[in-house]
Structure 1
Amino acid sequence: MSNFRQVDRETGFLLPPSVDEWLPERHLARFVVEVIERLDLSAMVKAYRGSGSASYHPSVLLGLLVYGYATRVFSSRQLERATYDSVAFRFIAANDHPDHDTIATFRRRFLKEIEGLFVQVLMLAREAGVLKLGTVALDGTKVHANASRHSALSYEHASKLEAQLKAEVKELMALAEAADCADVPDGMSVPEELARREQRLARIAAAKAKIEARAKERFAREQADHEAKMTAREENAKKTGRKPGGRPPQPPQPPTAGPGPKDQVNLTDE
């Protein structure tokens, strides 16, 4: 007898879940959040008027951008969806869900500040001993302290590294802008008319019935064609008096085998 774990998507939590429990301690998303918490975001914070509906804190939006771009998620729509689909992004967003317009507007409004802060994140990661931040490779060469006899060399090396990281951040921002300019819904969400579960189930059932009816129609046509071929084969054998050569036509698969691989149904109104 099969033994499966229970599948239960309906029962709620007895206690509110904690986002802090969702990720392992060594996850990159934790590192990004902790680094950003130590950056000076006062210029961004002061740029908000403080009136109207509450805004998302710059640390949240910056965290989504930094982690997203470091893991090659550039589109604002993809970032928004990731706050639902990805545990790491949900952790960074504190289980909130900034929409794609908010994310794109934040990036464009504070582009220069974000570029500088992003470089700071990468430099801090390198100094902390992180050799890669997502897909962004950091130079692992140790930089000597200023008191060292190699201080001039280390300063030159650090300057080159910073210039390299600035160039890489600019490229990431350009990729993000290009992704947003070309951004269209990518089919990961169901249409508006299928938003509610009851509607989805009804439409799925109707689609399934159509496909099954089409499978029966296909079987009836193929069965009639098969019978016609067999009749012609038998008549030819009677005329010639010889047993037909070759293999007889194969009968079609019965409809109980389910729809054929090419059977489909249009879910939009016909």
Structure 2
Amino acid sequence: MSRFVPADRDTAYLLSPSVDEWLPADHLARFVVEVIEQLDLSELTGQYAGRGSAVLLGLLIYGYANGMHSSRKIERATYDSVAFRYVAANTHPDHDTLATFRRRFLKEVESLFVQVLMLAREMKLLKLGHIALDGTKIQANASKHKALSWAHANKIEAQLRQEVQQLLALTESSDRSAIPDGMEVPAENIKRLHVLRAM
């Protein structure tokens, strides 16, 4: 006799599920959302009518921190990943919206991303997703003093800014390529599935 638990994908929830409940308390996505809520986004909200700018910024920063440079892949992740759904507040911004937002507010996105990285470094996080903050890419402070000098803090910020600029350049080249992300099922295969189910 088999002891496998039968899979039931058709039973509906009694209450609507909350994406918040599916994400661990110490997850990077929560950190990104909480930090962005504390940032001054007035330059974005003033020009973007305040609708969704924090969500779009959060998706870009969380995506880039996890090595996801393509706006198409970030859009797809809002459907496939619980963490991206959490950052997107269970919405699914279009890849064109993400790319246009990034291009329109490139300097602001760069500046805010550097602020997130600086805060992560101050909180002694070793990594922010795939971005190392432990001295692997950024020189560590080996000073005997606990406080950073102003010059050293500016040097660290300049290094982070340079890395963010390189990351954003890589993102732009990813968005300009016409290669599909490979996650979509061709329409003729979907029709075949419906025919098979009808049989």
What is the TM-score of this pair, normalised by structure 1?
Answer: 0.66
Q: In the alignment, what sits opposite 1:64? A: 59
| 142 and 5 in structure 1: CA distance in 2 versus 1, 3 angstrom threshold | farther
Q: Does 1:19 align with 2:28?
A: no
Q: In the alignment, what sits opposite 1:202? A: 195
DSSP-derived class of the 2:38 partner: coil
Per-residue deviation, 1:143: 9.4
DSSP-derived class of the 2:155 partner: helix
Per-residue deviation, 1:48: 2.6
Contact persistence 2:36–2:58 (CA under 8 A): yes
Q: In the alignment, what sits opposite 1:171? A: 166
Query: Percent of pairs identical after alignment?
Result: 62
| 82 and 170 in structure 1: CA distance in 2 versus 1, 3 angstrom threshold | same
State the aligned residue count. Answer: 195
Instruction: Provide the C-alpha distance between the structure 2 equivalents of 1:49 and 1:59, rounded to a whole number of angstroms.
Output: 11
Contact persistence 2:73–2:181 (CA under 8 A): no
| 181 and 18 in structure 1: CA distance in 2 versus 1, 3 angstrom threshold | same
Per-residue deviation, 1:175: 0.7
Q: In the alignment, what sits opposite 1:130? A: 125
Matches within 5 A, 1:154-165: 154-165=149-160
Contact persistence 1:139–1:161 (CA under 8 A): no
Instruction: Provide the C-alpha distance between the structure 2 equivalents of 1:205 and 1:188, rounded to a whole number of angstroms.
Output: 25
Instruction: Provide the C-alpha distance between the structure 2 equivalents of 1:135 and 1:90, rounded to a whole number of angstroms.
Output: 19
RMSD: 2.5
Contact persistence 1:143–1:154 (CA under 8 A): no
DSSP-derived class of the 1:37 partner: helix
Instruction: Provide the C-alpha distance between the structure 1 equivalents of 2:17 and 2:196, rounded to a whole number of angstroms.
Output: 33
Gaps in structure 1 of 5+ consecutive residues:
207-270
Gaps in structure 2 of 5+ consecutive residues:
none
Q: In the alignment, what sits opposite 1:29? A: 29
- Structure with higher Rg: it is 1
Per-residue deviation, 1:184: 2.6
Q: In the alignment, what sits opposite 1:113? A: 108
Task: Using CA pairs under 8 Å that are at least 6 residues apart, name the structure with larger relative contact order, 1 or 2.
Answer: 2
What is the TM-score of this pair, normalised by structure 2?
Answer: 0.88
Per-residue deviation, 1:157: 1.6
Per-residue deviation, 1:158: 1.0
Correspondence for 2:82 among 82, 87, 95? 87
